[in-house]
Amino acid sequence: MAVDSVLSSPLGPPACEKDAKALRFIEEMTRNADVVQEKVLAEILTRNGQTEYLQRFKLGGFTDRLTFKSEIPVITYEDLQPEIQRIANGDRSHILSAHPISEFLTSSGTSAGERKLMPTIKEELDRRQLLYSLLMPVMNLCVPGLDKGKGLYFLFVKSETKTPGGLLARPVLTSYYKSDHFKTRPYDPYNVYTSPNEAILCPDSFQSMYAQMLCGLYEREQVLRVGAVFASGLLRAIRFLNLNWKQLTHDIRTGSLNPRVTDPLVRECVARILRPDPELADFVANECAKESWERIITRIWPNTKYLDVIVTGAMAQYIPTLDYYSGGLPKACTMYASSECYFGLNLNPMSKPSEVSYTIMPNMAYFEFLPHDPNSPGFTRDSPPKLVDLADVEIGKEYELVITTYAGLYRYRVGDILRVTGFHNSAPQFRFVRRKNVLLSIDSDKTDEAELQKAVENASQLLREYNTSVVEYTSFADAKTIPGHYVIYWELLVKDAAHSPSDEALNGCCLAMEESLNSVYRQGRVADNSIGPLEIRVVKSGTFEELMDYAISRGASINQYKVPRCVSFTPIVELLDSRVVSVHFSPSLPRWTPERRR
Ligand code: AMP
């Protein structure tokens, strides 16, 4: 029930006193966005002014925006590579940050095929936790009674490595789940999970998922929300249930745990809830054995009020499948974050996915916005870009996000394109438009045009002995299979029909493509099982000409026509599919180890 109106917030009546405090904080930050931003920049520049990086530029001790903008260059990851490499190799001097770099966060964005390494400092954990602490108070405004049950969240840690200099390198969520901030979080009735920490922290993805699913089934009546970080993760959990329900219901029936779960900590925590429950086992088995899995989520967890998953950006492709499995439950996209920095939250989390806007929290970092014009040639040293401050962006315009963080990124281009949809107080709200240069994405992988091109080139080497070449290609992220997978359409020129490439050779091409793709893709294939085997669909000769005719009939200019290297528009995919002469899949897994190749 809402608390006393004395605590009332412009966002709505808070559910409890703790929520009132969080909502007041959001109000304070968003009302004073520009002042907070000025303060954040001054703080960052004051504490890091003596770092090697900032000393290179003539700030002269000034910490104001004007000096900052005129002296500090706008950069990308590639520009920072030498500094990052030195830190990774063990140089502990104050290169980027006056505070010690505590670890590297491995972004799903890649550079030369490997995950980008983002330096971070200890106190950033507090900032992340602060943003997390704002999510439920906002959600409670939209969905009452979430303290009366639990959340079934499928959360996972991923493998970590050490850099040559001994710093840990791991994904930001792995770092967060392994931190005391998460492990020893105080009890909060609005944030009770069915998954025990030990299950979340188990590095083996099968055992982790198995334990989390089993606990979620035992507590099916208490579950009020079902979630994962990204939509692809929740679908993977559904697929897991589909593949393992017989063993899971066997465990529930007998009160014994699948011997494949060997991690002693996981066995111990599951033992605390494990009991023979033949009635529950019958119920789950009966639902899972039905031919149709439509609404399976609400059938098994009937009190689910919403799905908590990100379905904006590349994840929008999963909305129809999620709707199918959940009977169209609301999908809450609660936050917008990255390894570099957590950016902000959705103040209207029950809005339709197509209407989701994120409000950037001005206390998280110093934010600037590079006006995005897809037709402009970019900028040079002689014509530096004019970046706009957080409070000065204009509704309807698109910008690329540029950040300056406490951990030592200065005017760093994140690569996300955002559109301003409105303001909450003086803080702008943004629709996530897309990530720059991403052609294909199934889970957290991001494959760009150059990577795809290189993969096609490498794979087509295998066709040389057949005197065959790839004359055209395009791609499609097939989100209908679980897990989703890359489909590459190839039009071949077979010069000697009597000696055309064998099935085996073309299957080999699929694997060769996978071997050429970046490490995030290969990790998804090998360790996370979040991406299915790559598929090549060979199309009839002349198909790409038909594709061009189709584009021209829809108004494309014949002079400027370029073969799209990725397609998603249904009529085009249908046209391609209707011309397929053979399909081929990767016969095995590509190589991947947690160690970086360089
Ligand atoms: P990473 O650096 O691997 O943590 O990935 C961060 C990137 O994921 C961001 O820069 C965005 O491109 C994307 N991302 C994060 N949150 C969202 C969201 N809520 N909606 C759409 N894309 C997101």
Nearest ligand 1 atom to the CA of 108 is 3
pLDDT digits (tens, 9 = 90+) for 451-510: 999 999 999 999 999 999 999 999 999 999 999 999 999 999 999 989 999 999 999 999
Number of H helices, E strands in the chain: 20, 20
Sign (positive or negative) of CA dihedral 498, 500, 505, 507? negative
Mean of pLDDT values over 269-290: 98
CA distance 536 to 343: 38
Name the nearest CA neighbour of 39 among 26, 24, 29: 29
| Closest residue to atom 17 of ligand 1, CA basis | 336
Average pLDDT in the 53-66 region? 95
Q: How far apart are CA 300 and CA 213, in angstroms?
A: 12
pLDDT digits (tens, 9 = 90+) for 359-391: 999 999 999 999 998 666 566 656 667 999 999
Q: What is the mean pLDDT of the chain?
A: 95
Sequence-ordered strand ranges (E) for 540-592: 580-585
Average pLDDT of the residues in 151-158: 97
Can you spell out the DSSP letters for 88-134?
HTT--S-SS-SSPP-EEEEEEEEETTEEEEEEE-TTHHHHHHHHHHH
- Cα–Cα distance list, 475 to 99, 122, 313, 440, 523 (Å): 44, 41, 18, 8, 20
Q: Give distance in angstroms: CA of 162 to centre of ligand 1.
A: 24
Pocket test for ligand 1, best of 432, 442, 445, 518 (most atoms within 8 A of CB): 432
- Cα(345) to centroid of ligand 1, in Å? 12
Inter-residue contact 233 to 530 (CB < 8 Å): yes
Q: 190: left (phi > 0), else alpha (psi -120 to 50), else beta?
A: alpha
H-helix segments, 421-517: 449-460, 503-516
pLDDT-derived band of residue 595, with 50, 70 and 90 as boundaries? confident
Report DSSP letters for 192-225, one per residue.
-BSS-HHHHT-S-HHHHHHHHHHHHHHTTTTEEE
- Atom number, ligand 1, closest to the C-alpha of residue 116: 2
**Measured on CA atoms in the order 136, 137, 143, 148, is the torsion positive or negative?**
positive
State the CB neighbour count (10 A cutoff) for residue 58: 10
Quote the pLDDT of residue 380: 62
Atom number of ligand 1 nearest to Cα 358: 19
Q: Which residues line ligand 1 (CB under 6 A)?
A: 107-109, 172, 310, 312-313, 333, 336-339, 414, 416, 432, 435, 444
Confidence of residue 310 (pLDDT cuts 50, 70, 90): very high
Please name the residue whose Cα sits nearest to atom 19 of ligand 1. 336
pLDDT confidence bin for 5, thresholds 50/70/90: very low
Q: Residue 401 CA: which ligand 1 atom is closest?
A: 10
Taking CA atoms, 377 is separated from 380, 387, 400, 416, in Å, by 9, 16, 15, 18
Q: Hey, what long-range contacts does 20-26 have (CB within 8 A, 24 or more apart)?
A: 20/137, 22/133, 22/134, 22/137, 22/138, 23/137, 23/138, 23/141, 25/134, 26/134, 26/138, 26/347, 26/359, 26/361
Please state, for a pLDDT cut of 90, what percent of the chain lies above it.
Answer: 93
Output the six-digit token pair for 245. Answer: 């329900």
Dist CA 307 CA 596 (whole Å) = 35
Q: How far is CA 281 from the centre of its chain?
A: 34
CA distance linking residue 220 with residue 437, whole number of Å? 41
Q: Residues 88, 117: contact at Cβ < 8 Å?
A: yes
- Which pLDDT band holds residue 1 (cuts at 50, 70, 90)? very low
pLDDT, position 382: 62
Nearest to 26 by CA among 375, 349, 280: 349
- State residue 381's pLDDT score: 59
Rounded to the nearest whole angstrom, what is the distance from the C-alpha of residue 428 to the centroid of ligand 1? Answer: 18
Strands 306-310 and 331-332: parallel
Q: Look at residue 541 in the predicted model and tell me its pLDDT.
A: 95
Cα(595) to ligand 1 centroid in Å equals: 23
CA distance 480 to 366: 39
pTM: 0.94
- Quote the pLDDT of residue 556: 85
22 CA → ligand 1 middle, Å: 24
pLDDT of residue 462: 97
Ligand 1 centroid distance, CA of 335 (Å): 9
Q: Is the pLDDT of residue 554 over 70?
A: yes
Distance 435 CA to ligand 1 centre (A): 8
Question: What is the residue with the minimal CA distance to atom 6 of ligand 1?
Answer: 338
Q: How far is the CA of 338 from the centre of ligand 1 (A)?
A: 5
Of 204, 174, 176, whose CA–CA distance to 267 is shortest? Answer: 204
- Best residue for ligand 1 mutational test, from 416, 430, 520, 523 (most atoms within 8 Å of Cβ): 416
Choose the residue to mutate in 111, 232, 336, 356 for probing ligand 1, maximizing ligand atoms within 8 Å of C-beta.
Answer: 336
| pLDDT score at 410 | 98
Residue 17 to residue 485: CA distance in whole angstroms: 46
Separation of alpha carbons 152 and 165, rounded Å? 38
For ligand 1, mutation pick of 158, 176, 310, 358 (most atoms within 8 Å of CB): 310
75 CA distance to ligand 1 middle (Å): 19
Write the DSSP string, 503-552.
HHHHHHHHHHHHHHS-HHHHHHHHTS--SPPPEEEEE-TTHHHHHHHHHH
Cα–Cα distance measured from residue 293 to residue 238, given in angstroms and rounded to the nearest whole number: 10
- pLDDT tens for 320-331 read 999 999 999 999
**Cα 337 to averaged position of ligand 1 atoms, centre (Å):** 6
Q: Annotate 335-383 with DSSP letters as a single string.
A: EEE-SS-EEEE-SSTTS-GGG--EEEPTTSSEEEEEE--TTS----SSS
Ligand 1 atom having least distance to the Cα of 435: 12
Q: Give the rounded percent of residues in the chain with a pLDDT score beyond 70.
A: 97
pLDDT at 597 over 90: no
Distance CA 150, CA 429 (A): 30
Give the mean model confidence (pLDDT) for residues 98-121.
96
Q: Which of 95-104, 392-401, 549-558 has the lowest mean pLDDT?
A: 549-558
- Ligand 1 center from residue 110 Cα (angstroms): 13
